[in-house]
Amino acid sequence: MTYPETQLRHTLPISLICDNLRDPGNLGTILRSAAGAGCSKVLLTKGCVDAWEPKVLRAGMGAHFQVPIINNLDWEAVPDHLPTDTRVYVADNCGLYVQAQAQRSNKASDYGWVRDQRPLKFHEYEEEDLESGASQCWLPELEVQSYDSDWTEAPAAVVIGGETHGVSLESLQLAESTGGGRLLIPVVPGVDSLNSAMAASILLFEGKRQLRVRDGC
């Protein structure tokens, strides 16, 4: 598929990774925001709704023909579709209160923003830890930074998780391995989180703003 020359001229060194996004309306809106911000590409991992499903097409309003979309990727294949020096950041809009609660626990469910499901390989380590009496956190430790801090110095990829299950452990591991982190969108106490499409839009256009400031535009 070819894309409009004007779109290619305004492409930013920012990629979007959709992690287990199952709502067609949300995905279509995210694609529309990605096209509007000038995102270089959108990667959809396995578990996401089909990008070419009619409801996604309707919500995308033509975005499918403005930004490259790569469907149905295993996490092992995701780095192959990113520049070699890309840093991966995980969108985190769970709020400061939830984070404070989570710091006292190693359970994924206490974080709110990460799926409470470990691959089978982690169960072996868990059993070994129980036998040895050791208690270890199995979640990658990622630096938390505000969404409006400078995170676009190198090519960046932003992971947006589905609202029902949150982001996957694989996304956290990828962020850790690339030197990325968690981008916090603060919300006031009492508000659970932002809609996935809203969070994606905020981060993509914030990245666009940072790049324009750096270029003196």
The proportion of the chain whose per-residue pLDDT surpasses 90, expressed as a percent, equals 60
**90-114 burial by CB neighbour count: b if 16+ within 10 A, else e?**
bbbbbbeebbeebeeeeebeebbbb
133 against 192, higher pLDDT: 192
* Residues near 81 by beta carbon (within 8 Å), at least 6 away in sequence: 15, 41, 43, 70, 73
Distance (Å, whole) CA 38 – CA 133: 51
135: number of Cβ within 10 Å: 8
Given a cut of 50, whether residue 170 has pLDDT beyond it is: yes
Q: What is the pLDDT of residues 85-117, one digit of tens each?
A: 999 999 975 544 344 444 444 444 344 444 444
pLDDT band of 140, cuts 50, 70, 90: confident
The token pair at 22 is 């199952």
Amino acid letter, 28: G
* pLDDT (0 to 100) of residue 116: 42
Given a cut of 60, whether residue 128 has pLDDT beyond it is: no
Contact 87, 179 (CB under 8 A): yes
76 Ramachandran zone, left/alpha/beta (phi>0; psi -120 to 50): alpha
